[in-house]
């Protein structure tokens, strides 16, 4: 039975979706004001493993991952750079999508942008104004948390007494944990050059929390199965999402809350704020293979912290190589016509252990250990020529099934180079011919980032999958 540790209760709970056979997930997505760092990608790889495992278990999945393209950081950045929100965010969304593909992260079914959903957000605020859960002050609109009795049920942070928030009101989207206070739903413009939208609730822009309530309910219904995010989002972001949504509908918002622990670097949280972050591109430039990064990020269960080190990355790379070599050896193993079926039996045991581990709140490290016990069991069988054709098929099928979740081997994937990469190669050749080396380098970086390597030789340029 599949179980998840639900942040809402702290318990390991059996998973039962609302609709049989289908799971609806909302996952908090990127803020597209800069490159995502690999800490962010620990969380995005977790979402990916979650959706892949639900499919492994036979569910159909609808995942909505929002794109935050208006918030405090974006507004500040665009004012500083004197560019529009669209200019800034389109660029970084494109980079983000490329990075997702590089890490073999499947694209969620819906990736709504906040700025495309202003009317839905305004409608939600109107509902909250109408039922007294929201009020206006100095042109902005705030959520009255004293009006929402269960406030704090996710994070355990309670409003003490009955005053309208000890800290009064907050406008900032990120605020101190002690500040249990009325938070902003709709912000009147305050800064020179700040983008705002005209609406029935006045000119302004949405507070950060609002988008997730409006877009999740639009695409998944007022109650859906799983809400996921990084641990930093529990408070205030998810607490506030619950308040806005349940305050408006009177219904349970999300049933299972799953939060990933952070990626640390030198034992400190990796964060833009601390300046201690590495982007995927930083690592690729240093010759690290994308699948080794994916392997590293999923090698610890999502609810455990992972410390990023060069040694850890090397170890991930070596494990991945070991897995690949194993697949190669099994493929090339001489068939033993009178094999005793031990290889096939070991494959079946691996899948059972893999599933048991993943059923336990997605314990990827135990699941990987199951794969490696198969490697350890079967390698001597190959040496002893005990692998029959049926064994081989069973072992390869089992590895392929496990990798449908892990996504690190990309077995059965087409080795041919896709048209868009060939197009980029042509662009680069053209740029070199016209001696525009800057453009040529830029195009080459994009090809590398997509997981391909270019080799120039006197006979021309060759491209292949890394
Ligand atoms: P942001 O783009 O800042 O909105 O963050 C996108 C996602 O990355 C959120 O779900 C965050 O919780 C998550 N996140 C941010 N930093 C880290 C980190 N160091 N490790 C894991 N997840 C993170
Ligand atoms: Zn969110």
DSSP states along 297-346: HHHS-TTS-EEE-HHHHHHHHHHHHHHHHHHHHHHHPPP-TT--SHHHHH
Confidence class of residue 161 from pLDDT cuts 50, 70 and 90? very low
Question: How many other CB atoms are there within 10 angstroms of residue 371's CB atom?
Answer: 23
Question: How many other CB atoms are there within 10 angstroms of residue 334's CB atom?
Answer: 7
Please report which helix (H) or strand (E) contains residue 169, including its range.
Answer: strand 169-170
Q: How far is CA 245 from the centre of its chain?
A: 23
Q: How far apart are CA 206 and CA 188, in angstroms?
A: 9
Strands in 224-230's sheet, in edge-to-edge order, are: 60-65, 22-27, 224-230, 254-260
The Å distance, Cα 425 to ligand 2 centre, comes to: 38
pLDDT reading at 285 higher than 70 = yes
Task: Spell out the residues 6+ positions from residue 136 whose beta carbon is closer than 8 angstroms to its own.
Answer: 129, 142, 202
Confidence class of residue 162 from pLDDT cuts 50, 70 and 90? very low
Residue nearest to atom 5 of ligand 1 (CA): 30
Q: Is 42 in the pocket of ligand 1 (CB under 6 A)?
A: yes
pLDDT reading at 178 higher than 70 = no
Q: How far is CA 455 from the centre of its chain?
A: 32
Q: Which has the higher per-residue pLDDT, 339 or 397?
A: 397
Confidence class of residue 171 from pLDDT cuts 50, 70 and 90? confident
Q: How far apart are CA 159 and CA 146, in angstroms?
A: 7
The Å distance, Cα 329 to ligand 1 centre, comes to: 39
Average pLDDT, the chain: 93
24 three-class SS:
strand
Percent of the chain with pLDDT over 90: 82
Residue nearest to atom 7 of ligand 1 (CA): 40
Instruction: Please name which ligand lies nearest the alpha carbon of 238.
Output: 2
pLDDT in tens, 119-139: 999 999 999 999 999 999 989
What is the signed CA dihedral for 414, 415, 421, 427, rounded to 10 degrees?
A: -150
């Amino acid at each position: 039975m599949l179980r998840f540790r639900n942040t809402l209760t702290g318990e390991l709970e059996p998973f039962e979706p609302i609709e049989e056979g289908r799971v609806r997930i909302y996952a908090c997505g990127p803020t597209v004001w800069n490159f995502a760092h690999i800490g962010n990608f620990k969380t995005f790889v977790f979402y990916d493993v979650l959706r892949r495992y639900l499919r492994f278990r036979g569910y159909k999945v609808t995942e909505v991952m929002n794109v935050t393209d208006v918030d405090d950081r974006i507004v500040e950045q665009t004012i500083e750079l004197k560019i529009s929100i669209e200019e800034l965010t389109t660029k970084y969304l494109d980079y983000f999508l490329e990075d997702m593909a590089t890490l073999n992260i499947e694209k969620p079914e819906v990736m709504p942008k906040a700025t495309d959903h202003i009317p839905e957000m305004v409608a939600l605020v109107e509902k909250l104004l109408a039922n007294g859960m929201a009020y206006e002050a100095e042109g902005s609109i705030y959520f009255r948390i004293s009006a929402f009795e269960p406030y704090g049920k996710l994070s355990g942070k309670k409003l003490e007494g009955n005053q309208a928030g000890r800290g009064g009101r907050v406008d900032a989207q990120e605020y101190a944990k002690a500040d249990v206070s009325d938070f902003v739903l709709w912000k009147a413009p305050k800064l020179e050059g700040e983008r705002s939208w005209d609406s029935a609730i006045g000119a302004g822009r949405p507070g950060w929390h609002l988008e997730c309530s409006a877009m999740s309910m639009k695409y998944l219904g007022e109650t859906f199965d799983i809400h996921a995010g990084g641990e930093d989002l529990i408070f205030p972001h998810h607490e506030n999402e619950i308040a806005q949504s349940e305050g408006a509908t009177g219904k349970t918002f999300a049933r299972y809350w799953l939060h990933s622990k952070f990626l640390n670097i030198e034992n400190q949280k990796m964060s833009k704020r601390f300046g201690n972050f590495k982007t995927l591109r930083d690592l690729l430039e240093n010759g690290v293979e994308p699948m080794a990064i994916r392997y590293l990020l999923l090698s610890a269960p999502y609810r455990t912290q992972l410390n990023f080190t060069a040694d850890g990355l090397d170890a991930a790379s070596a494990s991945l190589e070991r897995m690949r070599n194993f697949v190669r050896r099994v493929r090339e193993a001489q068939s033993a016509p009178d094999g005793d079926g031990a290889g096939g039996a070991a494959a079946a045991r691996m899948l059972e252990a893999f599933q048991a581990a993943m059923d336990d709140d997605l314990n990827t490290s135990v699941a990987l250990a199951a794969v490696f016990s198969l490697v350890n069991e079967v390698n001597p069988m190959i040496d002893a020529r005990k692998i029959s054709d049926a064994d081989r098929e069973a072992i390869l099928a089992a590895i392929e099934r496990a990798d449908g979740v892990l996504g690190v081997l990309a077995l059965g994937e087409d080795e041919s180079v896709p048209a868009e990469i060939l197009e980029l190669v042509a662009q680069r050749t053209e740029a070199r011919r016209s001696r525009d080396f800057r453009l040529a380098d830029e195009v080459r970086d994009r090809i590398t980032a997509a997981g391909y390597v270019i080799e120039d030789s006197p006979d021309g340029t060759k491209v292949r999958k890394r």
